[in-house]
């Protein structure tokens, strides 16, 4: 029943509105999220070009902002959040409070994350 919980959008993200927790697509479509996982792969510079850094990346590179609600597939601590007692897995499996999670990318890592 994955298709009842997953919506695939074939579009390019151009901005992240962290204050309202939305991503903006190239056609000005707004997609809300509670947790955003960026899975572009090691060659993609989308996250840094938007001025953000995944929360597990340390030390914080100059001119980038920490993104508490945004994770990258390349984040070395991503799997700590996805393990059985991890914070992200608890959010994703909480049946009482349904959350919006956006997984952005088109790599094999993105599909594995889904």
- pLDDT score for 60: 78
Where do we find the tokens 């929360």?
A: 55
Residue 13 exposure: Cα atoms within 13 Å on the Cβ side: 24
Q: Which of 88, 69, 91 is nearest to 78 (CA)?
A: 88
- pLDDT score for 42: 47
* Average pLDDT, consecutive stretches of 10 residues, N- to C-terminus, the chain (114 residues): 73 89 92 80 63 74 76 72 73 73 69 69
- pLDDT score for 40: 59
* CA 14/CA 20 separation, integer angstroms: 15
Tokens of 29: 């479509």
Q: Which 3 state secondary structure label does DSSP give 91?
A: helix
- pLDDT score for 43: 45
Tokens of 40: 């572009």
Residue positions counted in the chain = 114
Strand partners, 25: 13
In this structure, are residues 54 and 47 in contact, taking their beta carbons and an 8 Å threshold? yes
In this structure, are residues 44 and 84 in contact, taking their beta carbons and an 8 Å threshold? no
């Amino acid at each position: 029943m994955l298709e009842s919980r997953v919506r695939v959008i074939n579009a390019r993200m151009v901005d992240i509105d962290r204050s309202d927790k939305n991503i903006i697509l190239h056609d000005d479509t707004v997609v809300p999220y509670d947790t955003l996982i960026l899975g572009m792969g090691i060659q993609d510079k989308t996250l840094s070009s938007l001025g953000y850094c995944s929360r597990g990346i340390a030390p914080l590179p100059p001119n980038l902002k920490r993104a508490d609600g945004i994770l990258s597939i390349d984040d070395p601590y991503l799997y700590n959040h996805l393990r059985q007692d991890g914070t992200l897995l608890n959010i994703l499996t909480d049946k009482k409070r349904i959350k919006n999670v956006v997984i952005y990318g088109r790599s094999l890592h993105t599909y594995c994350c889904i």
